[in-house]
Amino acid sequence: MPCAARGTLFLRYPEETRPIAVGDVVEVDLATEPGSVEERHPRRTVLFRAAGNVERRAQVLVANADAVLVVSSVRQPVFRPQGADRVLAAAAQAGLDSILCLNKVDLARAGEVERLLGPYLAFGCRTIATSASRGDGVDALREALSGRVTVLAGVSGAGKSSLLNAVEPGLGQRVAAVSKKTGEGRHTTTAVEMLPLRSGGDVVDTPGIRGFSLWKVEPREIGHFFAEFQPFLSQCRYVDCRHEREPGCAVVGAIASGAIARSRHASYLALLREAVESESARSVEGKREGRRTGRASREDEGDEDEDEDEDGT
Ligand code: GDP
Ligand code: ZN
């Protein structure tokens, strides 16, 4: 049913670039054409879009999702822990369940799948090793997707479309069609789409999105999004330890003892640096903002869609 968000909804959620996201449960008034979205129900979960460092408003990409499925591959393209770890951290912040799918296991050398998945199994992350071409793991994947809303993430070429086709014939084509539309369209955000599964549940594809970001995260919070760091976070010599290379850091110590994978710590450091940068950018921005008089800044509105001008009057 074509509907436009009522103008008052924008006023009610000034912290967000748009009040309605894929996955929202809404109340609509269909007396007019298009109908009008009158109310948004409270959200169980939200995933944010990754964007620049300085933002004053959030862009919610998907609301009410249950899980995130990170699709990666052993090679072609080669598995990059940092990309996967970023998505897993965002899922942890959002309180979503996460599954790491490692595809193209038919291309793996002996022991390679175990080596790549080891760090994830060690902290209890659910993993599925698949080969879309050979059929390995497809039943497990189908089961993981059924009955809930799963957001797909992962680099292109890892085999997302092939895997979905293996799970349910035609599903991959629909996902690929969404991706193609995004590549050609001007507004990447509008292509986020929820696709129902025959087995119950939905998958949400987010093509053209660089990833999910941690929204307004404090540097000291990031360790909490790495499950295997938990037992060590309070054991460091300094209470304000950032777990980089401080003396007496229990997290760094756990790398030496093998309890924390070096690659996971590297991913942590990358997110930490970003959070530190965006924190200082925010404080510079805040000072500038303080000097401004009257008129509000418009510079954060560059990437918006025209449909947001809808004022519902
Ligand atoms: P997407 O961009 O993530 O949707 O990836 P595609 O599903 O389009 O797959 C990218 C390429 O990888 C295609 O050439 C697929 O045939 C190939 N591919 C997908 N899954 C597998 C797999 O399990 N093993 C191998 N060897 N190739 C695969
Ligand atoms: Zn530490």
Domains in the chain, ordered, with CATH?
A: 48-205 (3.40.50.300), 219-291 (1.10.40.50)
Q: What is the pLDDT of residue 121?
A: 95
Q: What is the pLDDT of residue 155?
A: 85
Under-70 pLDDT residues of the chain: 50-57, 175-190, 208-213, 286, 288-313
Q: What is the pLDDT of residue 232?
A: 98
Q: What is the pLDDT of residue 209?
A: 62
Please give the Cα distance from 193 to 216 (Å, whole number).
25
Q: What is the pLDDT of residue 215?
A: 72
Q: What is the pLDDT of residue 308?
A: 34
Q: What is the pLDDT of residue 244?
A: 96
* Ligand 1 neighbour 107 (Cβ under 6 A): yes
The model's pTM: 0.85
- Ligand 2 center from residue 219 Cα (angstroms): 12
Q: How far is CA 300 from CA 5, 54, 176, 258, 285, in A?
A: 21, 9, 31, 44, 12
Tell me the ligand closest to 243's alpha carbon. Answer: 2
Q: What is the pLDDT of residue 42?
A: 96
Residues, CB within 5 angstroms of ligand 2 (ion): 236, 241, 243, 249, 251
